[in-house]
Amino acid sequence: MHELSIVMSIVDTVEKEREKQQADTVESIELDIGMISGVEMEAFYFAWEAGVRKTKLEKTRLKINRPPAKAKCTECGQTFVATSSFDACPECENPFCDILSGKELRIKRMTVIKN
């Protein structure tokens, strides 16, 4: 369960930024977690609750975008939305495609509150 490492990375980054902003609380965090990023969302939420316990992020709202997986066929060049990292091309059925997106793991933005 590497999701906790991911959560702790977010907590560290966000806490540092909150201090830099001299803010008191973090109202919300917006994340991009790609559909094939290797993060299991159930495990992520479980880890999040544990990871923010007794921190200033305990009440922070999470907004999570799930960018879809997009792939490009190496034969016909067709770009398509994939459900896994090994989908065949829907156009020519070539099984060997390149992944273009869907592996995002990004902190987009955060909203902080100064009292």
Partner 1 sequence: MCMTCGCGNSTETNIMIAKPGEINPENISLMIEHKHGHEHSHHTHHDHSHSKTVVEMEQDILKSNNMIAERNRGFFEAKKIFALNLVSSPGSGKTSFLEKTISNLKEEIPFYVIEGDQQTFQDAERIEALKTPVIQINTGQGCHLDSDMVHRALKKLNPEEDSVVMIENVGNLVCPALFDLGENSRIVLISVTEGDDKPIKYPDMFQSADICVINKIDLLPYVNFDIEKAKEYAMRVNHHLKFFEVSATTGVGMRTWYDWLVTCRTQ
> Judged by CB under 8 A, does residue 54 bind partner 1?
yes
The tokens describing 28, both together, are 């919300």
Phi, psi (rounded to 5 degrees) for 46: -60, -45
| Contact in structure between 82 and 69 (CB atoms under 8 Å) | yes
The CB-of-96 to partner 1 minimum distance in angstroms stands at 4
Q: Which two tokens stand for residue 89?
A: 């091309």
Q: What is the DSSP letter of 68?
A: P
Residue 79 touches partner 1, criterion: CB under 8 A: no
Which residues contribute to the site for partner 1 (CB under 8 A)? 1-6, 8-10, 12-13, 15, 17, 21, 23, 27, 31, 36-38, 43, 46-47, 50-51, 53-56, 74, 84-86, 88, 95-99, 105-115
